[in-house]
Structure 1
C-alpha cells in the first residue's frame, strides 16, 4: 500500500477540463494576426499589440500614406520601436508543448490502410487521398523514402512478419535498442490470423511512416503488405499489375516462400522480375534494389545461418543453370543485391490461438526471427529508394510516379495479359505525353509572347488555325509511328486518345490566340484614335503620326486584315488641338520617315479610304474570309 501511495503522490495530476480549454484559448491569443500562425520571435509595437518580428517588419516594408499603422487597431506607430517580448516567447514554447501533447493523445493510432484494393468487379482501384496523405505530408514530402514490401502466396505469414518489423522500426525511431516487444504482448498491426482465409486484399500501407535520423539526415520508412501478386487461383492480369506496383513502391522487397522455391513460385518470380525490369525502365526507377528470399518453415532448424541461406541459393542457381528455364531468376539470384534467410517452423503453439506472442514461439524460430529483423532494420539506411540514375527519390517524387502508374491501372481498356503488353502500354503512354509537349512547343513558337502587336495582326485567327491543324496532323502521324505492340484495337484506342488530346490543345490555343488578336486590334485603334493624336495636338503633327502608323500597319498586316482610317484634321479639332507647337514638332521629327516610305503611305491611305475630314481616327477589322 505504501508503494502505491507514494506513486500516486508523485504522479502529475491530469489537466482539468477547464484548464485544457484555457490552453486552447491561450493558443488563439498567441497567434500572429499577420501570418495567422503561432508567434515567432514576438515583438510589441507602440500601441501594445504583438506580432512576429519578421511579419510586422515585412508588413511595414510597403510605404503607407499616413504612416506605419498597426495591422489590428490601425494606430500610427513608430517603425523603429519594436520591443522583444522574451517572457512571451518562453510561454509560447511551453504552451506549444502542452497543446501538442494533448493533441497527440487524441490522434488516431497508426494503422494499415488500403493503398490498392480489388473492387466487386475484380478491378484494381486506388485511393488518391490515401496516396497523398501518406507521401505528401508537409513533414515528409521532401524526405528520402524507404519502402519495405512483402510479396508471396496468401496465408504464409507475411502480415505476421511485418508486424514484428513495425515493432523494431518503432524502437529505432525512438532511439531505443531494437526489440520485438514484450514476451506476452499480443501481436497487432496489419490484420492477421491463423487459418486459410485471406484477409489482406491488394496492397495495404502503414499510414504513418517511421522517421529515422542519422548524422542530421532524416528519411521516411513505409511498410507495405501485398496480397494477390502471386495468387495462383486469381487473375493473371491482377497479379501482373500488383507485381509491377510492388516494384514501383519497394526499395526492400521480401519474397516470402514456404519450405523451398517451388516451380509455381519460380514461374511467378520469373514473371515478377520481368515486370520489374520493364516497369522500372518506363518510370525511371531502380526496378530491384534489394531482394530477400525468406524461406519459411525450413526443415533444418540447426542450419539457418546466413551462410546456409547462401548455400541454398547456390544450389538453386546451379539447377536453373542446367535447365535454362528461368533466365531472369538466375541472373537475379547471382546479384549481390539478393540475400536469403532461412526460418525454421515457429512451433505448433504459435499456430493456435496465441495472438502471435513471442512466448509462444519455439526458441529456434524466435532467435532467428530476431536476428533477421534486427539486421534488416539496422541496415535500412542502405536501401533508400533511388531512380535509374542512382539519385535518391523523395516521398513527393514517388507520389507523382505512383499516381501516374495508378492512372494506367485504372483504365479498364488496358488488359495486361503479359508483362510485355504492360511494358508496351507504359511506353505508349509515355510517348503520348512526349508528343503532346512537342506539339505545345511547336504552336507556342508560332506566336511567342514577345511578338509585337503588328506581327500578331499579320496572322489572322483563321490562318493561325490552319497552321496549328497542320502541326497537329504532323504530330499525330509521329505518334502513330511510335506505337508499340500489335493489338489493332489498342492501337486505335491510343490513336483516338492522342487525336483528342491534340484537338483539345489546338482549340485552347486558338481561343487564346483569337482573344490576343482582337486585343491587339483594339490596342492599335485606341493608340491611333486617341493617344497619338493627343500627343501631337496639332493638325500637322496628328496627320503625320496617324499616317505613319497607318503605313506600318498596312505594310505588316495587309489591306484585307485591317484598315486605319486617319481623319487627322477632324481628330485634331475633336480632341482639342492642345498646342500646335507640340504637334508641329512631332510632324517635323517624323517627316523624313514619311518621305522614305511615301509610296507605302500613299497606298495605305488610299486603301484605308481616309480623306482628312473624319471626326475620329478608328480601326476597322475586316471580316475574315
Structure 2
C-alpha cells in the first residue's frame, strides 16, 4: 500500500533556542528604511547600515541642515558610503539556512526518484532531488552510508526498506530499536502484494537519517530499485542500473526468492562484474558489503545464522565444480558477504494487508526483526569509502553519481556487456585526463608569470600554430589509449575528443591574443614615453612620423609595438606641450 512516512521519519527541526537566535539575527540584518533584509548593504560614517538604494533615495534631495542618518539623525557626508561585503555574505548564508529550514517544514518525507527511465527507455537523472538530498548544508560534508536493495520486482524490497527505516528512526532519536505498534500500518516506500511493479528506476527516501556514534556523525540514505534484475526488461537498463546501484550503495541487499537459482546467479555474476569494473573507473570501493537475503525459505525451523552459513557453504561447493560463475564464487568466499534466511511471512500479510506486525507469522516476524536490528546496529561499519579507503561525503558522492549518469545517458552507449561498459568508463576517464594534460601544456606555453617582452616575442599566429600541433599530438595520445575494438565506437570517441581539444584550443588562443595586444600596447606606450623624455615635444612629433613610416614598412609584431610607441609619444607629447604652454 502507498503511504507517507510517520512523524518518526521527520528530520529534527531547529530547536527553540536556535530559532530565537535566528529571529534576532534577522532583525540585525534588516534595513530600518525599507524594513526588509539588507540588499547591497552600505555603512555611513555614523556606523549604521542600510540598503544602498534606500540611503541614496533618502539623500536624493538636498537637505538644509545636511544629510542625516535615518536612525540616529547624525549629519553624515553623502559621498562616504562604504560597502559591507562580509555582511552581504552573511545575509546570503542566513537566507540559505532559512530557506532550507522552511523547505524541511513544508516538504513531507517521501520517496523521490533519483534515476528513472523515460518513455524511450533512456535513463534520466532527477537533478533537483539529487541536489536536495546530497547537497543540503546539513549533510553535504558528512560521511554517507547508503542501504540499497536490488532483486526481481515484487519480492518485498520496499516492504523491507520501510521496516529498516523504522529502526533507523529509533537510532536517530537515540531510542531502543522498535518496529512500531502491532496494528500500525506500514508507511514509506509504496508497496503492495501482487505482481505489478510499483517502483521504476532508483528511488531514495528524501529525508536522511543523521546518526551519531562516539562523537562522530554520519548520514544514512535508503534506496529502492526496480529494473536492475528485471528478467522481462532490457538488458541494457539492467546493466546501467546495476552500475548505479554499485556507485551509490555501501550496504547492498540482494533480495532473492526461495534460493539462488540460475536466473539469480546469472544476474549476480553480471552485477558483480559491473561493480568491480565501475568501482575501478570511478575510484570507489568495490562491493563494501553484500547481504544475500533469501526470502520464503522452505524450512521455518532452520533460519538461524548458522543455517544461512551452511547454505552459502553448499552453494560455494556447488559453484566450485562449475566454471560459469567465477565472480559469484569469489564473492561468496569473501568476508564482506553474509546471508540471511527468512521464512514465508504468512497468508495474512500476503493478502489484503497494510504491512502490520500483527499480520505476520511469528517466526517470520522474529527473524525479520533480528535481521534488521543487526543491520542497523552495525551500520557504522559500512560508511561509503573510495578506492583508497577514505570516507566519502554526500557532496563527493553527488559528483560521482552525476559523472556516471552523464555517461549512461548517451544513447550510443548501449553496453551489450559489463566489459563494454567498463571500456566506456575508462575511455571517458582517459578523455578527461588527456584534456587536462593538454590544458597544462598550453599554460606552459604562456605562463601567467611570463614577462610582457616574452609574450610579444610569440605572435598569436605562431601560438595558434603551436597549439594546433599540440592538439594533434594529444589527440593521437588519446587514440592509443582507447579500449575497445569497435570501429564505430572508436570514431565516436575520437570525434568527441577532437571537439573537446578544439574548444580548449580556441579559448586559449582567444585569451592569448588579448594578452598579446595588451602587452604590445603597454610596451609601446613605455617606449613612446621614453622617446619624449629624451626628444621633447616637437622632436617627439618628428620621431612619431619616423616610426609610423617604419611601422608601415615592417608590419607584424613590430608594427603593433611601434603603433603603441606612437600612441605613447603623441599622448605624452600633447601633455608635455600643454605644460609648456601653461608655464609660458
Q: How does the TM-score come out when normalised to structure 1?
A: 0.74
- Tell me which residue corresponds to 1:509: 508
Partner of 1:301: 300
Q: Do 2:343 and 2:364's aligned partners in 1 also have CA atoms closer than 8 Å?
A: yes
CA distance 1:153–1:71, change in 2 (3 Å)? farther
1:537/1:579 contact within 8 Å kept: no
How big is the shift at 1:33? 4.3
Matched with 1:273 is: 272
Query: Per the alignment, do residues 165 and 441 of structure 1 end up closer, same or farther by CA in structure 2, a change over 3 Å counting?
Result: same
d(CA) in 2 for partners of 1:256 and 1:363?
21
Deviations 1:584-611 (A, max 9, x none): xxxxxxxxxxxxxxxxxxxxxxxxxxxx
Distance (Å, rounded) in 2 between the aligned partners of 1:320 and 1:285: 28
1:78-477 aligned at under 5 Å gives the runs 106-477=105-476
Partner of residue 30, structure 1: 27
Structure 1, residues 159-186: CA drift from partner, whole Å, max 9, x if none?
0000000111011111111111111000
- Structure-2 change in CA distance of 1:573 and 1:182 (3 Å): closer
Deviation at 1:527, TM superposition (A): 2.3
Deviation at 1:324, TM superposition (A): 2.5
Q: Is the 8 A contact 1:206 1:222 kept in 2?
A: yes
Q: Structure 1: where are the runs of 5+ without partners?
A: 1-22, 40-44, 52-68, 78-98, 581-625
Q: Distance in 2 between matches of 1:46 and 1:329?
A: 74
Distance 1:270 1:342 in 2: 21
Say if 1:537 and 1:576, in contact at 8 Å, map to a contact too: no
Rate the CA distance shift 1:579–1:314 in 2: closer, same or farther, 3 A.
Answer: same
Which residue number in structure 2 is paired with residue 576 of structure 1?
576
How far apart in 2 are the matches of 1:150 and 1:480? Answer: 39
CA contact (8 A) 2:459 2:557 kept: no
Q: Which has the higher contact order (CA 8 A, sep 6+)?
A: 2
Q: Give, in whole Å, the separation in 2 of the partners of 1:526 and 1:101.
A: 55
In structure 2, the CA distance between the partners of 1:265 and 1:457, relative to structure 1 (3 Å rule), is same
CA distance in 2, matches of 1:401, 1:182: 40
1 CA distance for matches of 2:154 and 2:535?
A: 92
Deviations along 1:561-617, whole A, 9 cap, x unmatched? 64366799999864427999xxxxxxxxxxxxxxxxxxxxxxxxxxxxxxxxxxxxx
Alignment-derived partner of residue 484 in structure 1: 483
- Compared with structure 1, are the counterparts of its residues 566 and 496 closer, same or farther at alpha carbon in structure 2 (3 Å cutoff)? closer
For the structure 1 residues 575 and 324, does the alpha-carbon distance in structure 2 shift closer, same or farther, using more than 3 Å as the test? same
Do 1:537 and 1:577's aligned partners in 2 also have CA atoms closer than 8 Å? no
Q: 1:33 to 1:101 in 2, by over 3 A?
A: closer
Contact 2:532 2:569 in 1 (8 A): no
Q: Tell me the CA shift for residue 76 of structure 1.
A: 7.8
* Offset, 1:101: 13
Tell me if structure 2 keeps the 8 A contact 1:146–1:220: yes
Q: CA deviation at 1:75?
A: 4.5
CA distance in 2 between counterparts of 1:50 and 1:578 reads 46
Q: 1:47 to 1:456 in 2, by over 3 A?
A: closer
- How far apart in 1 are the matches of 2:119 and 2:110? 24
SS class of match (2:321): helix
C-alpha RMSD of the superposition: 3.6
Conserved? CA contact 2:163–2:179, under 8 Å: yes
Change (3 A) 1:104 1:400: closer
The offset of 1:455, in angstroms, is 1.4
Q: Deviations over 1:293-312 (max 9, x none)?
A: 00001111111111111111
Query: Equivalent residues in 2 for 1:18-97 (5 A)?
Result: 30-33=27-30, 75=74
| Bigger Cα Rg | 1
Conservation of the 8 A alpha-carbon contact between 1:538 and 1:579: no
CA distance in 1, matches of 2:256, 2:568: 92
Partner of 1:498: 497
Q: 1:49: Cα distance to partner?
A: 6.9
Encode CA deviations 1:413-451: one digit per residue, 9 max, x unaligned: 111110000000000000111111111111111111111
Contact residue 528 and residue 567 of structure 2 kept, 8 A: no
Offset at residue 254 of structure 1 (A):
0.2
Deviation at residue 130 of structure 1 after TM alignment: 1.3
1:407 and 1:528 mapped to 2: Cα distance?
53
Aligned-partner SS, 1:191? coil
Change (3 A) 1:433 1:72: farther
Q: Is residue 532–residue 573 contact of structure 2 (8 Å, CA) maintained in 1?
A: no
Q: Is the 1:116–1:203 contact (alpha carbons within 8 Å) kept by the matching residues of 2?
A: yes
Q: Residue 53 of structure 2 aligns with which residue?
A: none
Q: Which runs of 5+ in 2 are unaligned?
A: 1-19, 39-43, 51-67, 77-97
Residues matched between the structures, number: 508
Q: Give the Cα separation in 2 of the matches to 1:237 and 1:332.
A: 23
1:251 and 1:385 in contact (8 A); partners too: yes
Deviation track 1:310-356 (CA, whole Å, cap 9, x = no partner) reads: 11100000000012321100100110100000111101011111200
- Given that 2:526 and 2:568 are in contact with CA atoms closer than 8 Å, whether structure 1 keeps it comes out as no
- 1:316 aligned counterpart, secondary structure: helix
Counterpart contact for 1:439–1:471, Cα < 8 Å: yes
Shift of 1:132: 1.1
